[in-house]
Amino acid sequence: MHGLIFRSTGSWYEVYVKEIQKTIPSRIVGKLKLDKENLTNPVAVGDEVEVELEDEINGLIKSVLPRKNYIARQSPKSRMQLHLIACNIDQAILITSIREPDLKAGFIDRFLLTTEPQNIPVIIVFNKWDIYTEVDRMIFLDIKNLYETIGYKVLAVSSKDQTGIAELKQCIQGKVNLLSGQSGVGKSSIINNLQPDLNLKTSQLSGYSGKGIHTTTFAEMFPVNEQTFIIDTPGIKSLSFNNLEIMDVAHNYREFFEASTSCKFGSQCTHRNEPDCAVKEKMLAGIISEVRYKNYLNVLEEIEAQNYWERNKKY
């Protein structure tokens, strides 16, 4: 039987089988685990799979069909392994906010490093518009201009007063949509606005830390209608990219890669100390964002620091 992974809980998966109009709890065969040694989880939400009944209640996932794309993060246990978040996505929607919680420096750019290699379109959504000050709204307009200039759609919404919700509903129609964001930005509240029947659990920010409280433990796919799906994911605390090489990062800042055709060293330019670097020239001229450039350098420094530690830890 052909199935679609609706929910992942670590070792068990909820598989929706259209031909029987039913979701069945399933586990994966051992061989499938061994075939995916570079992954902590060889199956993820959004995967299309072949499944057979193991008994009257449970299923057994025999194989995973080819993926058109995926979003993954580095495994916290090993820099050589990836943890799949979701697969076969039409677009990703990044939920963030300027306040409650405050926007983390570089967070948007780090998230885009998970989508850009897979050519997944991204909509950047700023929630909690109703509590923004005039200064916050000016910051939003600057960010909107920055990211829309390089090809990303940016929206302001409020799950409380419904600002922007109607437009966001239009954006998700007919697509498999992954929703992601920092803990506490109101992702579950937005999903409840997009599909009220779900009634997902929501929480306030932690009064002690000012950080978000996790309300989503595992990734899960919800149908909005026959053609529209939402994949809810756990809130993100941090994103590291020690599994990447320097050029992986350079090639996935889209405006940097485009400008690199004019660099002296072309696509092999790291845009730091090389002479005749078109990226640096455009940054100094105000054409490429200095903020994006600094975020880029920070990621490179982290990767190099990790590489140095790996090389020298045996001593």
CATH of the domain at 271: 1.10.40.50
Note whether residue 69 is domain-resident: no
Q: 250-286: per-residue pLDDT in tens? A: 999 999 999 999 999 999 999 999 999 999 999 999 9
Q: What tokens appear for 41 in the block?
A: 């989880």
Answer whether residue 238 is part of any domain: no
**Whether residue 262 sits in one domain with residue 228:** no
Q: Where are the beta strands (DSSP E) in 157-197?
A: 176-181
Tell whether 30 is covered by a domain. yes
Domain ranges, residue 119: 77-232
In this structure, is residue 240 part of a structural domain?
A: no
Query: ∠131-135-141 over CA atoms, to 5°?
Result: 90
Position 239 in a domain? no
Start-to-end C-alpha separation, the chain: 53
pLDDT for res 183: 84
Domain end, chosen from 210, 232, 254, is at 232
Measured between alpha carbons, how far is 16 from 23 in angstroms, rounded to an integer? Answer: 4
Alpha-carbon span 68 to 5, nearest angstrom: 15
Q: Are residues 81 and 202 in the same domain?
A: yes
Kindly report the backbone phi and psi dihedral angles of residue 281, in degrees, each rounded to the nearest multiple of 5, phi listed first: -60, -45
Q: How far apart are CA 112 and CA 253, in angstroms?
A: 8
- Number of structural domains (the chain) is 3
Are 116 and 7 found together in one domain?
Answer: no
What pLDDT, on a 0 to 100 scale, did the predictor assign at position 211?
Answer: 37
pTM: 0.88
304 located within any domain: yes
Q: Is 280 left (phi over 0), alpha (psi -120 to 50) or beta?
A: alpha
**CATH number for position 161:** 3.40.50.300
Beta strands in the chain (DSSP E): 2-8, 13-17, 22-28, 48-53, 59-64, 70-74, 82-87, 91-96, 122-126, 153-156, 176-181, 220-225, 228-232
Give the model's pLDDT for residue 36: 60
- Pair (138, 57) in one structural domain: no
- Whether 95 and 172 map to the same domain: the answer is yes
Counting as low any pLDDT under 50, the low residues of the chain are 204-216
Q: Are strands 59-64 and 48-53 parallel, antiparallel or unpaired?
A: antiparallel
pLDDT score of 206: 37
CB 55 within 8 A of CB 147: no
Report yes or no on 182 lying in a domain.
yes
CB atoms within 10 A of CB 127: 26
Residue 103 located in a structural domain: yes
